[in-house]
């Protein structure tokens, strides 16, 4: 994993993955909207001078493609692409003003994942060992069963999980590995605004180490931490009536009308 391209790199999971990859000697392409945060991140990485910064919004597909082409030209190839950029916000279908929020979440969490992978697939296929290449989608346990008040976020992460599964099968013959990482509760700015209990909350640096191990191994799907994987499997087994009753009073993520 010597050449790694990461979206949503300026904070949280993306920044922790960047730090862990840099520590292992990787050359990084780091994508985020905030230049100051990206420059601050790069300054704290191992070998800061070798990393490339791309200040853009992942919903700008033309800018994302240009960044990918620039990184490929600068590094001569690609080993790992991590589509990590994502946003979360409480949404309720009954409110018309939440429809644009749905659209923004789907555009950032789902469509941008496709746009992130797209420019790299042909380059991976041309490389001498495409079986060493990885496309990594960041899902969530929130995508395994729908959560109340998180309709857009749950839908987007369910879509990422299914999309990566489809892509994994599609690329199987090429040797390229598609890895889906489904985080549980990870201690990042995204979860620090939650005002409810978060079981098995994991430090982000610990998550990054486990995620990189799964990526290196070419795992098709990994829930981190493993305890949330057990919970997720049990939730999938619950009949709808039992699940609906158990989660009907669950706390909601805050809306921002």
Query: Which residues are catalytically annotated?
Result: 153
With CA atoms as reference, report the closest residue to 226 among 202, 252, 248.
202
Which residues are CB-neighbours of 54 under 8 A, at least 6 positions away? 29, 30, 31, 63, 67, 70, 71
Length of the chain: 257
For 81, list phi and psi in degrees, rounded to 5.
Answer: -120, 125
Scanning the chain, the segments in alpha helix (DSSP H) are 12-23, 35-43, 61-75, 99-106, 112-126, 151-170, 189-192, 204-217, 226-237, 240-247
For 253, list phi and psi in degrees, rounded to 5.
Answer: -70, 140
- β-partners of residue 81 are 5, 135
Count of CB atoms situated within 10 Å of the CB of 96: 7
């Amino acid at each position: 994993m010597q050449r790694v391209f990461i979206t949503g790199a300026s904070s949280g999971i993306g920044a922790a993955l960047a730090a862990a990859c840099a520590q292992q000697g990787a050359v990084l392409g780091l994508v985020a909207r905030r230049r100051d945060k990206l420059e601050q991140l790069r300054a704290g990485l191992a070998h800061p001078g070798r990393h490339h910064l791309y200040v853009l919004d992942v919903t700008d597909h033309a800018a994302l493609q240009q960044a990918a082409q620039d990184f490929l030209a600068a590094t001569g190839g690609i080993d790992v692409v991590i589509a990590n950029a994502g946003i979360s916000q409480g949404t309720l279908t009954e409110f018309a003003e939440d429809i644009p929020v749905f659209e923004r979440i789907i555009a950032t969490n789902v469509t941008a994942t496709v746009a992130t992978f797209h420019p790299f697939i042909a380059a991976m296929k041309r490389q001498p060992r495409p079986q060493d290449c990885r496309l990594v989608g960041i899902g969530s346990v929130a995508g395994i069963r729908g959560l109340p008040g998180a309709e857009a976020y749950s839908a987007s992460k369910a879509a990422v999980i299914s999309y990566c599964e489809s892509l994994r099968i599609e690329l199987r013959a090429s040797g390229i590995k598609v890895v889906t990482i489904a985080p549980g509760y990870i201690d990042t700015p995204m979860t620090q605004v939650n005002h409810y209990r978060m079981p098995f909350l994991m430090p982000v640096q610990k998550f990054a180490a486990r995620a990189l191990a799964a990526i290196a191994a070419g795992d098709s799907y990994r829930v981190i931490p493993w305890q949330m994987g057990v919970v997720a499997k049990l939730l999938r087994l619950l009949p709808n009536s039992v699940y609906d009753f158990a989660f009907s009073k669950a706390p909601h993520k805050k809306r921002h009308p």
